[in-house]
């Protein structure tokens, strides 16, 4: 357990949140109430400036945290936590369990990392958006609205990562969901977008249900033990006393008992599954790609979707007491990683490939969490933020350059026209595939190493091989993307072939910065083993930095042989993937047609997303709505939309209401009277007997 930290009051923290929030509110208020559209350059300066200011403040706080201004060197003081308490937000004296929650921000090592990523990458994406939205012909003068939402999102995300207690975190949690919803549906008039936005929001409800129940369960059990608490500090201090309790399962769940920590952990994990698009709640993320590309980069790759990972790490003390929950997390992550990677290989929409890739990489992060390697999960989170934002924005550049072509089958040969875009994309692809020395190499390698050594985890060998397979698949689909888009002959329609060029500079220079980060970002978490080899004294600085918040595992007994084996395995898989992609898409494209009959069935299975939607349909929807033909016929109508789990149950709810309950409300006053009097008689019978 980390040493008791030194708490420092710092009233500057609130401004990290308030600056972007204030900008968003001011611009929104002007727009909605006073109907003032500001000039686009003012909007741009305001919103980018506010995020940059927030980044500056975060950096300043970071400096304070590591004691840059301090008198004493870092190593000699206990780890510091900056805290900024505004006032008591919620406080109830409930029976024996009076508790209160402050509106307070907390800046410790974990928040610092998240905060810097959110504001730093967020700033770059803001700048990029300026160019992107300007280039977008669909834009109907909604620039101010767009940046208003974007800033609001940054503010909500910062609340999430800076929150000192679960309630405030939940505020940020819902806030980011809301902004994501607004931004996915940004181009209104397009029913598909509106639908995707609602879907994202509604799928997340299922996760949020888990989150809320987790909070309540935690609160209830802590209050029961006489230690009511909602702030992370207090929970961490008091959780030990309830961790060993058990809950009796109700009869319909088969009875028996479940550990309290495990059940709370699983509830929270359900929240994380929704937010971070893991199996089975991943269906919303690919659809969310309907939004503008900067939104995909910011929200659906770099920041919001990692909130689930952040939460799991934030609550690591809880998961430490719940090994059962960790097993579920690890397996969910591992299966999702390989599953989503498989799906990514069958996509033709460039953004969808990246969306499934994101799901897959998030699976890696949860795999790390499940192994108890929290710092490594955060390490991968950071590097992933760099290279996935880069890839999305690169894809956005391609989309803008080709005038909104997203289908890779109609691209090709763009290498010569979009030179800069090509090279930054290459950097991103190499980073995600784990090219030795690139950021993704170290983080992925670390995750697989921890899985390999996680002996306490049931089936860790299988998980390890799933991770390796995912690495191979990742290399395959990423190079497939690269080859289809940039290599070979152009397949663009003739009309669009003229004057293809890299987009304007405001879009390109964030890409270049991110490319540098994607290549070199691994340094912050350089593993000890590699540090020793290249003579860096202080390696794994991220891990040491996070040690004040999470438990670091024992260093693995690594020797050159084991490392060679581990790295070799991953590299071999990746090279296989690359080679396959190269053969199929560059050197022998004809082979694909020949393979088609052989691969037909599995390929079709993958292309139909493993028939997940159909499975949901069969398992959840049809039994529920069997009594209603209309919904049934809707359910069979596969052309409609995918993601039947959620929309299917929505339909089931609708069906139940529309076809059964509705008939109670017949419009006949006497029928109402009858029910009312029947209710009265029932009441009477119940009370009197």
Partner 1 sequence: MEAEAFDVAALAPLGFVAIGALVTLMLEVVLSRRAFVGEGVDPETRLVARARIGIVLAFASSAAIVLAMYAAIYQFELGFETAFGPGRPMLQLDALSTFATALIGLGALLSVWLSITYLPALRINHGEYYALLLLSTAGMFVLVSAVDLISLYLGLELTSLPIYALAGFNRRRLRSNEAALKYFLMGAVASAVLLYGMALLYGATGHTDFTGISQGFAGGGGLALSGLALVIAGLAFKVSVVPFHQWTPDVYEGAPTSVTAFMAVTVKTAGFVVLMRFLVLALPEMGEKVSVLLGVLAGLSMLIGNLMAVVQDNVKRMLAYSAVAHAGYLMVGFAAGTPEAWTAVLFYLFVYLFMTVGVFCVVIALAQGGREWDSIEDFAGLASQRPALAAVMTLFLLSLAGIPGTAGFMAKFYLVVAAVDAGQIALVLILVGTSMVSFFYYLRLPVVMYMQKRRQDPDAETSSSEIVVLALCAAAILYFAFFAQADPFGTGVRALDVAGRAADFLH
Partner 2 sequence: MSIPIEHVISLSALLFVIGVVGALTRRNLIVILMSIELMLNAANLALVGFNRVWSVTAEGAARYDGQVFALMVIAVAAAEVAVGLGILLSLIRNRDSLNVDDASLLRW
Partner 3 sequence: MSFEMFLFYAFAFLAVFSAVAMIGFVRHIVAAAMSLVVTMVSLAGIYVLMHAELIAAIQILVYAGAIVVLFLFVIMLLDLRDGGLGPAARGQNLVKAVGVGGTVTIGTLVVASVSGVFSVNPLVESLPEGFGEHRALGIALFTDYALAVELVGLVLLASIVGAVILAKRKID
Using CB under 8 A, which residues numbered 630 to 669 contact partner 2?
Answer: 662, 665-669
* Site membership for partner 1, residue 225 (CB under 8 A): no
| Cβ–Cβ < 8 Å for 438, 522 | yes
Instruction: Pick between residue 137 and residue 670 the one whose CB is nearest to partner 3.
Output: 670
The enclosing H or E element of 106 equals strand 99-107
Q: Which of 601, 670, 686, 689 binds partner 2 (CB under 8 A)?
A: 670
* Site membership for partner 1, residue 190 (CB under 8 A): yes
Instruction: Write down the least CB distance from residue 676 to partner 3, Å.
Output: 12
Instruction: Pick between residue 68 and residue 671 the one whose CB is nearest to partner 2.
Output: 671
Instruction: Write down the least CB distance from residue 400 to partner 1, Å.
Output: 23
* Site membership for partner 3, residue 557 (CB under 8 A): no
* Site membership for partner 1, residue 656 (CB under 8 A): yes
Residues in CB range of 510: below 8 A, 6 or more apart: 124, 125, 127, 128, 393
Instruction: Pick between residue 669 and residue 687 the one whose CB is nearest to partner 2.
Output: 669
Considering only the stretches 380-388, 429-437, 484-492, 651-659, report the one whose residues sit in contact with partner 1 under the rule CB under 8 A: 651-659
Instruction: Write down the least CB distance from residue 18 to partner 1, Å.
Output: 13
The Cα 153–Cα 147 span in angstroms is 9
- Residue tagged 């609160």 (tokens): 219
Q: Helices (DSSP H) in 136-190: which residue ranges?
A: 143-162, 166-184
598 binds, among partner 3, partner 1, partner 2, none (CB under 5 to 8 A by kind): none
* Site membership for partner 1, residue 253 (CB under 8 A): no
Instruction: Pick between residue 192 and residue 666 the one whose CB is nearest to partner 2.
Output: 666
Considering only the stretches 334-342, 473-481, 543-551, 670-678, report the one whose residues sit in contact with partner 2 under the rule CB under 8 A: 670-678
Structure tokens given for 119: 């504001």
**Binding-site string for partner 3 from residue 451 to residue 480, where x marks contact by CB under 8 A and - marks none:** ------------------------------
Burial of 504 (0-12, 13-18, 19+ CB in 10 A): middle
Q: Which among 182, 160, 303 is positioned nearest to 232, based on CA atoms?
A: 160
Considering only the stretches 54-62, 170-178, 370-378, 676-684, report the one whose residues sit in contact with partner 3 under the rule CB under 8 A: 676-684
Q: Which of 674, 675, 676, 679 binds partner 3 (CB under 8 A)?
A: 674
| Cβ–Cβ < 8 Å for 678, 653 | no
* Torsion sign across C-alpha atoms 45, 48, 51, 56: negative
* Site membership for partner 2, residue 688 (CB under 8 A): no
* Site membership for partner 1, residue 469 (CB under 8 A): no
* Site membership for partner 1, residue 634 (CB under 8 A): no
Using CB under 8 A, which residues numbered 350 to 369 contact partner 3?
Answer: none
Considering only the stretches 519-527, 631-639, 659-667, 670-678, report the one whose residues sit in contact with partner 3 under the rule CB under 8 A: 670-678
639 binds, among partner 1, partner 3, partner 2, none (CB under 5 to 8 A by kind): none
Query: CB 682: neighbour CB atoms within 10 A?
Result: 10
Q: Which among 348, 388, 346 is positioned nearest to 364, based on CA atoms?
A: 388
Q: Which of 193, 293, 485, 539 binds partner 1 (CB under 8 A)?
A: 193
The Cα 287–Cα 181 span in angstroms is 11
Q: Report CA dihedral (255, 258, 260, 261) to the nearest 10 degrees.
A: -160
Q: Which of 55, 128, 219, 319 binds partner 1 (CB under 8 A)?
A: 219
Q: Tell me the longest C-alpha to C-alpha distance in the chain.
A: 88
Using CB under 8 A, which residues numbered 22 to 41 contact partner 1?
Answer: 28, 31-33, 35
Residues in CB range of 499: below 8 A, 6 or more apart: none
Structure tokens given for 57: 């403040």
The Cα 279–Cα 120 span in angstroms is 29
465 binds, among partner 3, partner 1, partner 2, none (CB under 5 to 8 A by kind): none
Instruction: Write down the least CB distance from residue 668 to partner 3, Å.
Output: 12
Structure tokens given for 329: 């997390």
For residue 258, what are the β-bridge partners? 247
Considering only the stretches 102-110, 125-133, 540-548, 673-681, report the one whose residues sit in contact with partner 2 under the rule CB under 8 A: 673-681
Pairing of strands 99-107, 80-92: antiparallel
Q: Lay out the sheet containing 80-92: strands in order across.
A: 6-9, 80-92, 99-107
| Cβ–Cβ < 8 Å for 325, 267 | no
* Site membership for partner 2, residue 687 (CB under 8 A): no
Instruction: Write down the least CB distance from residue 686 to partner 2, Å.
Output: 19
Q: Which of 90, 657, 677, 679 binds partner 3 (CB under 8 A)?
A: 677
- Residue tagged 């921000």 (tokens): 105
The enclosing H or E element of 650 equals helix 644-659
Q: Which of 3, 4, 68, 91 binds partner 1 (CB under 8 A)?
A: 91
Pairing of strands 246-248, 99-107: unpaired
Q: Which of 461, 619, 638, 673 binds partner 2 (CB under 8 A)?
A: 673
Instruction: Pick between residue 601 and residue 688 the one whose CB is nearest to partner 3.
Output: 688
Residues in touch with partner 3 (CB under 8 A): 674, 677-678, 681, 684-685, 688-689
Residues in touch with partner 2 (CB under 8 A): 662, 665-670, 673-674, 677
């Amino acid at each position: 357990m980390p040493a008791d930290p030194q708490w420092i009051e710092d009233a500057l923290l609130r401004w990290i949140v308030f600056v972007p929030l204030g900008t968003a509110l001011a611009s929104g208020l002007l727009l909605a109430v006073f109907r003032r559209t500001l000039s686009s350059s003012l909007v741009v300066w305001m919103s980018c400036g506010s995020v940059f200011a927030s980044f500056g403040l975060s950096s300043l706080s970071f400096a304070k945290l590591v004691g840059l201004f301090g008198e004493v060197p870092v190593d000699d003081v206990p780890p510091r936590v900056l805290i900024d308490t505004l006032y008591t937000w919620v406080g109830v004296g409930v029976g024996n369990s009076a508790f209160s929650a402050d509106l307070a921000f907390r800046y410790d090592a974990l928040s610092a990392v998240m905060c810097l990523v959110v504001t730093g990458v967020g700033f770059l994406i803001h700048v990029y958006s300026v160019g992107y939205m300007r280039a977008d012909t669909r834009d109907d003068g909604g620039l101010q609205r767009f940046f208003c939402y974007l800033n609001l999102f940054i503010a909500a995300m910062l609340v999430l990562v800076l929150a000192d207690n679960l309630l405030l975190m939940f505020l940020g949690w819902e806030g980011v969901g809301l902004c994501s919803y607004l931004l996915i549906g940004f181009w209104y008039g397009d029913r598909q977008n509106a639908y995707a936005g609602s879907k994202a929001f509604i799928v997340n409800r299922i996760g949020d249900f888990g989150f809320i129940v987790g909070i309540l369960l935690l609160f209830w059990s802590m209050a029961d033990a006489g230690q009511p608490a909602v702030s992370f500090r207090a929970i961490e201090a008091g959780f030990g006393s309830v961790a060993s309790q058990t809950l009796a399962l109700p009869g319909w769940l088969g009875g028996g008992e479940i550990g309290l920590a495990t059940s709370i952990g699983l509830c929270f994990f359900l929240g994380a599954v929704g937010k971070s698009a893991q199996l089975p709640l991943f269906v919303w993320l690919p659809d969310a790609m309907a939004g503008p590309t900067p939104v995909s980069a910011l929200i659906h790759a770099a920041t919001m979707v990692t909130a689930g990972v952040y939460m799991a790490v934030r609550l690591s003390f809880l998961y430490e007491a719940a090994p059962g929950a960790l097993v579920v997390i690890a397996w969910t992550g591992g299966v999702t990683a390989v599953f989503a990677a498989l799906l990514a290989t069958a996509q033709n929409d460039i953004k969808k490939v990246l969306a499934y890739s994101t799901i897959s990489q998030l699976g890696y992060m949860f795999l790390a969490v499940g192994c108890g390697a929290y710092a490594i999960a955060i390490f991968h989170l950071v590097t992933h933020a760099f290279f996935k934002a880069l890839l999305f924005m690169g894809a956005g550049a391609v989309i803008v350059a080709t005038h909104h072509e997203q289908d890779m089958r109609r691209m090709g040969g763009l290498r010569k026209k979009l030179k800069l875009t090509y090279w930054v994309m290459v950097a991103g692809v190499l980073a995600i595939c784990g090219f030795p020395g690139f950021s993704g190499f170290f983080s992925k390698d670390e995750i697989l190493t921890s899985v390999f050594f996680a002996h306490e985890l049931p089936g860790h060998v299988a998980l390890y091989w799933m991770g390796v397979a995912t690495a191979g698949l990742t290399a395959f689909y990423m190079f497939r993307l690269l080859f289809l888009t940039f290599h070979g002959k152009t397949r663009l329609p003739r009309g669009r072939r003229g004057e293809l060029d890299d987009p304007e500079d405001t879009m390109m220079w964030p890409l270049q910065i991110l490319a540098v980060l994607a290549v070199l970002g691994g340094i912050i978490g350089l593993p000890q083993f590699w540090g020793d080899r290249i003579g860096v004294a202080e390696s794994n600085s991220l891990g040491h930095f996070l040690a004040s918040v999470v438990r670091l595992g024992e260093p693995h007994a690594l020797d050159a042989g084991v490392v060679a084996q581990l790295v070799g395995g991953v590299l071999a898989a990746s090279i296989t993937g690359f080679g396959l992609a190269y053969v199929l898409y560059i050197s022998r494209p004809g082979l694909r047609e020949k393979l088609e009959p052989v691969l037909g069935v599995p390929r079709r299975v993958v292309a139909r997303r493993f028939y997940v939607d159909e499975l949901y349909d069969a398992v959840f929807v049809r039994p529920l709505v069997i009594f209603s033909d209309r919904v049934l016929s809707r359910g069979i109508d596969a052309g409609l939309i995918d993601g039947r789990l959620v929309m299917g149950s929505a339909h089931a709810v609708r069906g139940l209401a529309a076809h059964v309950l509705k008939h109670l409300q017949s419009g006949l006053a006497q029928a109402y009277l009858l029910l009312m009097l029947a209710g009265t008689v029932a009441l009477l019978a119940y009370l009197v007997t």
